[in-house]
Amino acid sequence: MNLNHTAAAEAVSLFAGARSRYIRLRPLPFFRSPVTAFENMNTRTPKPRHSAFEARTKLVIGLVATLGLLPARGQQLADHFNDRLPLSAPVFSTLGTNTLATTDPGEQANRSVTPVRTLWVRWTAPANGYALVTSSNSPSRTVVNAWDYHKVLNELQQIPIQNNSGLPTALDRFEFNAISAADYNLVVDGRDGDKGVVQLDLKLYTNPEILMQPADVTVTAGQRTNLWVTALGNFPLTNQWQHSTFSFSTGFTNLPGGVDPQFTLGTSGVVSKSDEGWYRVTIKNEYGAVTSSVAYVEVNECAIPNPPRPASVVTNVGKTVVFSASAFGSQPFSYQWQFRPVGQVGFVDVPGATSSDLELDDVSTDDAGDYRFLVSNVACSDQVSTNVTLTVTTNNALVLDPTMPVDSTRITNQNASFSVRVTEGYQPIGYQWWFSPPSGPTNPVVGETAPDLFLNAVHSHPIAGSVF
């Protein structure tokens, strides 16, 4: 039949106007191949079968199909069981409308759902495989079922349902093991009163195909973790997991015991650093084999602190002390030093002491006590080191550099300078320079209270003598 767009538009307009219905087009993806579906949104009670209205409905669907909006294959869903058409393709998608559909005498409940508006198709499996039937792409809510092949409706037996896809159980999906050349009756029905366009999709998996690839995992050593893959194909499927510590593409070796869809890592299920690396699985059956994508397992080891260095320190007041922290495990590490004063019970954080080295300048007796550090990484937090002890004494509380000051000989009007340095002692330290002439009393040099003494334009009297 050849119709132009104008004639088709008039037919659709006539149909919509006569019954106060409207037409909606929507894309319905099936295995990534979009089809355009025609939906007749009907809110009224349908007329009896074979009415003039049904004839117009079929005319409109035919017109839309002619214009390329509804594939002709959509007519393969039949209202009556005895009218069902045979299909044998390993992958198909069919469309139909159950708005006017009825039930035939002897129809049984579909997965405990009472039949109301059923549509049928007969499918002959072209090979042994795993069949996944779904009506989930229908605009309305549906239930799908698979029966064995009998010519008498009330003698049908439901095919044992499987769930090897790992998908959540749903009324609009049915999975089963198909046998080559066997006939199956597939039925789809509206659910919860829904009606309209129905899409029934089927795919027969023969060669192994992976639905869910293994995923990367990050785990802490000592914990448990699994890798898993979901694949469909003619059963039985055999699995072989492999591991590489070299790269994602080389060095793979078979893992003993890794023959199930789920693989448990580690020794007795406990993961260690040696389990880190790349993993993949090869799945085989009588038709062929497929290898999964590569998943990386990262194993983080808990930060374990080494003893602080040095183990203990005894020093005088005013000295500088440095303690160092280190750890092994998965880097990077973060640190927090802690201090427990002499005679106290608990440790407190040293403010700002978050590097691996703890430097204590100009120590006093208040700094005496025990020190430790906490170390953390991505796997563990606040792992406690052993303690080290700092003992601060007051022996030789003030120690001068014995090489200073240095004797100086100058001629008249030259400048002279002297310096002194304290190597140990409490801060702050006070200074006072004194002068002792060759004859006469020793007196302080007025205003000279710094560690350095500067004398400008010296002359023999009264400067000549000793300063200290």
- This model's pTM is above 0.85: no
Section 228-233 average pLDDT: 97
| Lookup: tokens for 356 | 């691996």
Q: How far apart are CA 416 and CA 431, in angstroms?
A: 18
Q: For residue 40, what pLDDT is reported?
A: 32
**Whether the Cβ atoms of residue 159 and residue 132 lie closer than 8 Å to each other:** no
In a 13 Å sphere around the CA of 419, the CA atoms on its Cβ side amount to 4
If 0-12 CB within 10 Å is exposed, 13-18 middle and 19+ buried, where does residue 130 land? buried
Residues 237 and 260 in one domain: yes
Strand partners, 203: 91, 132
Residues 190 and 79 in one domain: yes
- Whether the predicted pLDDT of 75 surpasses 60: no
Section 382-395 average pLDDT: 93
Instruction: Decide which of 180, 205, 230 is a domain's last residue.
Output: 205
Phi, psi (rounded to 5 degrees) for 185: -100, 115
Residues 62 and 181 in one domain: yes
Q: For residue 13, what pLDDT is reported?
A: 34
Strand residues in 160-208 grouped as ranges (E): 173-178, 183-190, 197-205
Please identify which residue in the block is written with the tokens 């793979």. 252
**Whether the Cβ atoms of residue 66 and residue 187 lie closer than 8 Å to each other:** no
Residues 93 and 70 in one domain: yes
Q: For residue 396, what pLDDT is reported?
A: 60
Residues 280 and 351 in one domain: no
Residues 292 and 174 in one domain: no
Residues 435 and 292 in one domain: no
Residues 381 and 455 in one domain: no
Strand partners, 210: 231
Residues 21 and 115 in one domain: yes
- Whether the predicted pLDDT of 29 surpasses 70: no
- Whether the predicted pLDDT of 74 surpasses 90: no
Q: In 3-state terms, the chain is what percent helix, strand and coil (to 5)?
A: 10, 40, 50
- Whether the predicted pLDDT of 60 surpasses 60: no
Range of the domain at 379: 304-393
- Whether the predicted pLDDT of 50 surpasses 70: no
Residues 220 and 201 in one domain: no
- Whether the predicted pLDDT of 65 surpasses 80: no
Instruction: Decide which of 393, 422, 448 is a domain's last residue.
Output: 393
| Spatial CA neighbour of 140 closest among 173, 213, 179, 189 | 189
- Whether the predicted pLDDT of 20 surpasses 90: no
Q: How many domains does the chain have?
A: 4
Instruction: Decide which of 300, 331, 364 is a domain's last residue.
Output: 300
**Could you tell me which residue, 227 or 51, shows the higher pLDDT?**
227
Q: For residue 407, what pLDDT is reported?
A: 87
Amino acid at 182: A
- Whether the predicted pLDDT of 380 surpasses 90: yes
According to DSSP, residue 268 is labeled: T
- Whether the predicted pLDDT of 144 surpasses 70: yes
> For the chain, what is the radius of gyration of the CA atoms?
45
**Whether the Cβ atoms of residue 387 and residue 371 lie closer than 8 Å to each other:** yes
- Whether the predicted pLDDT of 39 surpasses 50: no
**Whether the Cβ atoms of residue 427 and residue 362 lie closer than 8 Å to each other:** yes
- Whether the predicted pLDDT of 180 surpasses 70: yes
Q: For residue 234, what pLDDT is reported?
A: 97
CATH number at residue 274: 2.60.40.10
Section 108-119 average pLDDT: 94
Amino acid at 374: L
pLDDT-based confidence at residue 439 (cuts at 50, 70, 90): confident
Residues 10 and 68 in one domain: yes
Which residues neighbour 378 within 8 Å (Cβ) at sequence distance 6 or greater? Answer: 300, 330
Residues 339 and 421 in one domain: no
